Amino acid sequence: MRHMRVCIITLMKMRCAIMLLLALICSCQSTQELNSTEAQSLVVLLAHPDDETWVSGTLAKLADRGVRVFPVYATSGDAGRDHSGQGLSGAELARVREKEAIAASSILGLEAPMFLRFPDGKLANFYHQLIEIFESIVSQKNPIAVMSFIRGGITDNRDHKTVNKLVAGEFNENSIYFALSDTRADILSRSVERFGLGYPIAVPVDDSEISIRVDVSSYARRRVSAMSIYTSQFSPTMISAFSDFVERSTVEELVILDGVELPSNLLYLLNL
């Protein structure tokens, strides 16, 4: 009997040791999978400096977790309007907007922006050249995913829609799109109206189309700080309205189209 009890105790100890070993192995595998993002990148194709504002919390969150986030601006916004009161236009405005984008990217922890400097408002005329250059960037960076505007470009801007068309047509197999749902568009409208402004969202998407709602509640201050850098594009009143919006909407929304399978570790980080 005594010998049997010793055998049973020994077997129980061995079982516990095996379970502990398996747990350690699983833990190591999970850690390695997460740490692998340190060498991985995300390329974000945008139309203009400041477009990252739509998804700035998500980009900062990924950067904080080791993903190298590369913002690529197809234009430098030379056809835009100057809201700083300096009367900037054309190439001068584009230079200022590039400097603002560099500073905003630094606040968000992103990599140095890439500026392709196609004419603002005319991207569709340079579609094939844009494809060629962006394909080269993607080949060089070898990202785990490519991100851009959802169809319609949120505001119906022609350049927003062109970069969406490019990503959807050439990189759809590993693409992810940032969007604004009907619910969040309504929250934004109420925020800007509260400050006497009008900023209708021309092309929101149905709430049911959203694949991931990224919790960016802890990034509110950085999101506002990054936006505030763009003094050429956003008045103090607009920045206050955006601050109100990020307090009321603590998520950012992403769409993954049917058939697209993104790396599990990227999805894990987005859902943290």
What is the CATH architecture of 39-257? Answer: 3-Layer(aba) Sandwich (3.40)
C-alpha–C-alpha distance, residues 49 and 102, integer Å: 9
Sequence letter at residue 180: L
C-alpha–C-alpha distance, residues 195 and 89, integer Å: 27
pTM for the whole thing? 0.86
Task: Region of 85 please: left (phi>0), alpha (psi -120 to 50) or beta.
Answer: left
> 216 CB contacts (<8 Å, ≥6 apart)?
57, 58, 60, 61, 223, 246, 250, 251, 252
Q: How would you write the pLDDT of the chain (272 residues) with one tens digit per residue?
A: 555 454 444 444 455 444 444 443 443 443 344 444 445 999 999 999 999 999 999 999 999 999 999 999 999 999 999 999 999 999 999 999 999 999 999 999 999 999 999 999 999 999 999 999 999 999 999 999 999 999 999 999 999 999 999 999 999 999 999 999 999 999 999 999 999 998 889 999 999 999 999 999 999 999 999 999 999 999 999 999 999 999 999 999 999 999 999 999 999 999 97
> 78 CB contacts (<8 Å, ≥6 apart)?
89, 90, 91, 93, 94, 119, 120
